[in-house]
Chains A and B, each alone.
Chain A
């Protein structure tokens, strides 16, 4: 037994020794200090990007990387929202200032790809065509639908393209909007409606002509129209031509350094739209070298192959570990790039990210866990950033189900929502109570319709037939599997119970199930939010049109859509804002969603980072970011 006592003593002393060693480890410079010295910016970037192909990705985190590698026609301003700086385009202007439907972009002649290949308008045309190609199936292709015939091409609208040529087409094309030209998942299995008229092959069309019952037409459509469409489609299908050949694409290149973009409607803020990475050019020569144009996930985005035109080039990409970019010497403005490189870390765990920052491993975090805000305020007040962000958090209501089919109930729930209490006590992130749907924009009037008014809410609910919450069924509140979502849910649960006497049942689900249930309108209330894609109120409004993918409330209003249509034709920015505001107010009066707050971004920023200014879209142009020790 003695030997074992000895063993025990030895183990103990070993443990002690190792603890001592731990404490007396070498006192070297921290990771961040080293990176600052080397000019490498360390960024928490939440997750591994799906890809670096601007035409395939659809997320915010990808934007951070892609905007360091690629550059669009215009560039964000480092400190001002809604201001465009020259990018690949030196100058840009609408042909007609009064009616900005056609835009000219003059490309800089010295623009080059990182392999030395010159960058011309042809690359842009290739890129536009590529992202719109149906086979590539880009999630974000709709960002280019402003361009003439872009939508028709992307959606392969064969019948429309064929028949609009027909001078004496008997009816307005608008009247055919109920026909399943595209795929319709809800159609019956054996009908061609499921596949969509535009997608039928020649063989299928012949079959359909023989057996018309295979396709269900709305009753309003005359036989003449049907035959005409079928005939033309069949003829085209047999000809072997492509949709591309049919369209009159709005983007053209009068010369290698000029890009002309013709739009469906006037769009004064087109330069803002082109800041989005879907409008970025991709190198035609490099893409085609590694695969077909419409092929996904080819090797062209691999670290050793990627050719780009931004301030940085890809240095290394270790799957799930990091992506690092370094200076691009071929960049047209290379001498003004401040950083030597950026390292993006896919840190999914919010707490880990913050602790890495506290431990001097990051220059900037992607976000800040709400639970740690209090801690950060205490110990890292100087690093804590709290900025407005172009987004609104709201609760969707299912307007197809009792009790939220009644606007008064929706309004009551909205008015009973004590936004401030939730923001101050649960979220603590300096969010602004949402007064409407669209966050504050310069020049755009605040709707100012959403207010906390428990008394009014009670009254409205009683009017709707549920005095004091009597008769209200159990309400299912759908949210995701995050701690914060749960806490917000619990707070609202208590608030609605208190003010309205409503029984809320919180149902948590993982992300895809949550989305699916929302899609299927299988909920009563559902947490949700929307981050603007570009600096215009429209990005918050057009999603509520009937059938828009993000509506998911079952709500629709013809009047609302008419106003939006009117606004899209407006050439004057001020008129346009007035119309959009009118639409927003109409929307809010119906309250299919219960706005809670305008997003704010909370994150931690190292003091050595310069030229990093608050921006509503949080797209910080990499060119200007600088690392400097005080």
Chain B
């Protein structure tokens, strides 16, 4: 290209800078053509805006009005009120913050662990692989509840102490640091188990990718193992990883509800979609809207996320646009 010679140095440097992002840029261009994915993305963004930006403008979700429970939808309460007379709409939005955060962060954490672990296992092969996979077997069989109870006991004081430390030393707002420190043990509990299946999937992918010739070329160029693993193998496992990861989001969100009841996670009166659905299910006969409304938000988000994941997989698959 003739212009390449003519461009000045700074511009070149800028081009260089943007070069590494071109995979994502490229993927974005491809995804823009996928209507279903784009609609899903739109829905997802609307959800995020609703929960994280709009929620602050809503009523306080924790104000109890015992005389106005199970109120029908009205201008005052768009979705009516719950069993303690709290505004359901703002509870759903505030709950969405927690659930999305939990779902996405826990998924992110488990993807990080799962991909790293699975790819190392598959890449190393042989005994290391067998050993690492047996560790996964063990973790899969550990009684979850027991671990949660132990964690709860161990971390009970930890979170209040840490929160106090944040407030004193870092001058954080107490409310914020309380929420944060409550939710960290939750990630811990979810993180221990969430990545296991993913690690298996990634491992299987790596097993086939590591036989490819470009990996051999990388060996021939003398690259270190970690470079080969992280630069050459892992990016090629992204497709199935993304799809599986979107499938795990709902289970993380529902686990959060269970764990919150065991004292790990959201502290009452705060709520989450999982908790709202769990509690709403109890009023199935008399007030089905308590189940259906949060369930609708939950499902809509997950549908969007799922089709987004599919779209992302196709977009990340550079080969797909070969023909």
Direct contact of A and B (CB under 8 A): yes
**Which residues of A come within 8 Å of B, CB atoms?**
351, 369, 371-372, 374-375, 378, 421-422, 424-426, 474, 481, 483, 486-487, 489-491, 493-494, 505-510, 513
Q: Which of A374, A378, A426, A507 contacts B66 (CB 8 A)?
A: A426
- Measured between beta carbons, the chain A residues less than 8 angstroms from B282 are 351, 369, 371-372, 483
Main secondary structure of the interface of A (DSSP, over half): helix
Please name the 3 residue pairs, one residue from A and one from B, whose CB atoms are nearest each other, closest first.
A425-B66, A494-B64, A371-B282
Residues of A within 8 A of B260 (CB): 508
A374 engages B286 (CB within 8 Å) = yes
Q: A424-B66, A425-B67, A507-B156 are in contact. List 8 more A-B contacts (CB 8 A).
A: A371-B286, A372-B286, A490-B64, A490-B268, A490-B269, A491-B64, A491-B84, A506-B267
A486 vs chain B, min Cβ distance (A): 5
A-side contacts of B269, CB under 8 Å:
490, 493-494, 506
Contact with A along B256-278 (1 / 0, CB 8 A): 00001111000111000000001
Closest to A354 in B: B285
> 23 pairs across A/B with beta carbons < 8 Å?
A371-B283, A372-B282, A372-B285, A424-B66, A425-B85, A481-B263, A483-B278, A483-B282, A486-B268, A490-B269, A491-B66, A493-B268, A494-B63, A494-B84, A494-B269, A506-B267, A506-B268, A506-B269, A507-B263, A507-B267, A508-B261, A508-B262, A509-B152
Question: B156: which A residues are within 8 A, CB to CB?
Answer: 507
| Chain B, interface SS category | loop
- Judged by a CB distance under 8 angstroms, whether B83 is at the interface is yes
The CA-CA distance from A425 to B260 in the complex, in Å, is 24
CB of B69 within 8 Å of the partner chain: yes
In contact, A510 and B268 (Cβ under 8 angstroms): no
Give the Cβ gap from A593 to chain B, nearest Cβ, in Å.
Answer: 22
Decide if B46 is an interface residue (CB 8 Å cutoff).
no
How far apart sit A491 and B69, CA to CA, in the bound complex (Å)? Answer: 12
Distance in angstroms from A395 CB to nearest chain B CB is: 15
Query: Which residues of the partner chain A approach B268 to less than 8 Å between Cβ atoms?
Result: 486, 489-490, 493, 506, 508
Complex CA gap A483/B145 in Å reads: 18
Are A513 and B285 in contact, with the CB atoms below 8 A? no
Report the separation of the CA atoms of residues A489 and B283 in the bound assembly, to the nearest whole angstrom. Answer: 19
The reply to whether B267 and A513 contact each other, CB–CB distance below 8 Å, is no
Q: B179 to nearest A CB, angstroms?
A: 12
Q: How far is the CB of A31 from chain B (nearest CB, A)?
A: 20
Question: Chain A's nearest CB lies how many Å from the CB of B31?
Answer: 30
Complex: A491 Cα to B63 Cα, angstroms:
10
**What are the residues of chain A within 8 A of B62 when measuring CB–CB?**
494
Q: Which residue of B lies closest to A508 (CB)?
A: B263
Asked if residues A481 and B261 are in contact (CB atoms below 8 Å), the reply is: yes
A375 contact from B83, B145, B286, Cβ within 8 A: B286
Nearest residue in B to A421 (C-beta to C-beta)? B66
- CB contacts (< 8 Å) of A506 on chain B: these are 267-269
Cβ of A493: which chain B residues have Cβ within 8 Å of it?
A: 268-269
Q: Given known contacts A375-B285, A421-B66, A483-B279, is B262 in contact with A509 (CB within 8 Å)?
A: yes
Interface residue B149 (Cβ < 8 Å from any Cβ of A): yes
Complex contact A513–B84 (CB within 8 A)? no
A509 touching B263 by the CB < 8 A rule? yes
Contact (Cβ within 8 A) B149 A487: no
Residues of B within 8 A of A483 (CB): 278-279, 282
Closest A residue, CB atoms, query B67: A425
With A421-B66, A490-B269, A506-B267 given, is the CB distance from A426 to B84 under 8 Å? yes
